[in-house]
Structure 1
């Protein structure tokens, strides 16, 4: 039987808790559009998202290797990982409480940056090239989602310009279920890997694993934690994403989900962690702007952008403070 240090066990528990919170925090990404247009009932949408999140989480480990290997240089201590996860969890719970969509990916990266900087341990440092690659993916993906969403929606308007709006929306309401399912699968394929990466990093740093390969049991645990979290649902964020950015119709929701799922799964195949929250919100803004610039509630969008900008520095501070607390407790 493996001799696992108690601190590694704490990391595993916190990583699964982060995954669980990520599940209900980001449920809105997969189902907000289909629920807001009444294409599917909330309860059915959440269960569908939970199942597909689980299977999506099992398709790859490339993002996990990016999270575990591209942020930190050198052997990282368990207290740093514990502090990073704790800071990210606190931020996710705060933003969930006020119904503000924010990025779990940003929160995790910020927490790790803060923990490493405050630790100032010999042989451990930040991989600025790796962090730069991750930040570029996080920043560019919502812009890509917005631009492509705008273009696809305009193409849709051209194709169906002479069709009856009611008939078009009736057809797309059914098709929304398919794109919502694709969105849930792609969400699981990218987001669950972040916890896989953290747990595997802890196992390597603790000497339990000799190389960075995600064990099957870690995949199953993270997939299950995210699926269970998704089944709880994040209703306040669902309301924000589904209705407060732009009043969605079925054709808008179809385009937003299709665009988001393709963007996120492409990032997964490229081993890049992206914020599903940012991508979906960007897609909705692009789709809304295609109908009419003023149709988008830019005040709500501005609040969300502020949360995105503040997440990494705020969670870096939280990660640093949590590291001081953790080291004080375990000294």
Structure 2
């Protein structure tokens, strides 16, 4: 009975994380289209919520990676409590960074928290460091790829449309941004919602409620709905940072950054690799801005964001370790 109560609490925490992820990270997906006035804020949020839901229901490969690459849930004693502590730590960090308008990574927060909680519960040997490092490599390399692709796409656009009048160029790309914003929100759903599916599945296996890492239909639907609802709330602090404090957007640059990040995130989903949508989107914006003019990027804001990215993993690992120690003292 106690185990069932704890697993219910874990599911509630996981869906809460997914909801927070919706308004924390999805703000990134629609910030550029709002900044360039391609979409009105309310329309952009509704579009993002619908596409996020669709994306979340489409794939499950990333969920299996998150559920089994960091550690083997079947080998973790008190695994359900481990997941609960990880989720509490990740939620705390997400709320702190959301409050201060810092587009940190929910993915880093979740992966770091899970690793820290596992270490506190079963020691360093319980962590599958090969799988953990594979995930970290993807989280590190994907922003670099997004920066490069964004730079290339924006350079091509500038070369092809060099002689087109700014008014006509803005009008055409503002129209195209509707589609790239939808694509970006869809890609976000394909990757980010699966992380919550993976963490719930980890808890179900650890608690003996199922044997495989296959994602149950109810897990898939509930995680998709939680993220869509979070998206509908919106994340105006993050929208302000991403949409105006990195570069000054025009429709063409908004189109380029949206397309870049959507392609990189979708590619990662297809190879079943969790990436930080926050990192990818922000790096794509920096790459696009650099292609226009290196000085057009507000590097001070960029440095602040990168600093948040760097500290997220160690802070969430420590926070989750402390949280598990408290949970163990109170409940075990």
Tell me what 2:301 maps to: 300
Tell me what 2:91 maps to: 89
| 1:272-317 alpha-carbon deviations (Å, 9 max, x no partner) | 0000000000000000000110000000000000000000000011
Aligned positions of 1:114-153 closer than 5 A: 114-120=116-122, 125-153=126-154
Alpha-carbon shift at residue 121 of structure 1 (Å)? 5.7
Structure 2 unaligned blocks of 5 or more? none
1:309 counterpart = 2:306: no
Contact 2:27–2:231 under 8 Å retained in 1: no
Number of aligned positions between the proteins: 329
SS at match of 1:157: helix
- Further displaced range: 198-207 or 216-225: 198-207
What is the RMSD computed on CA atoms of the aligned residues? 1.4
Contact 1:28–1:242 under 8 Å retained in 2: no
Aligned positions of 1:165-180 closer than 5 A: 165-180=166-181
Tell me what 1:161 maps to: 162
Tell me what 1:252 maps to: 253
Alpha-carbon shift at residue 166 of structure 1 (Å)? 1.5
Tell me what 1:182 maps to: 183
Alpha-carbon shift at residue 117 of structure 1 (Å)? 1.4
Structure 1 unaligned blocks of 5 or more? none
Tell me what 2:205 maps to: 204
Contact 1:29–1:183 under 8 Å retained in 2: no
Structure 1 residue runs of 4+, over 2 Å off?
73-76
Contact 1:149–1:284 under 8 Å retained in 2: yes
Aligned positions of 1:1-331 closer than 5 A: 5-73=4-72, 74-76=74-76, 77-120=79-122, 125-331=126-332
Per the normalisation by structure 2, the TM-score is: 0.97
Contact 1:257–1:280 under 8 Å retained in 2: yes
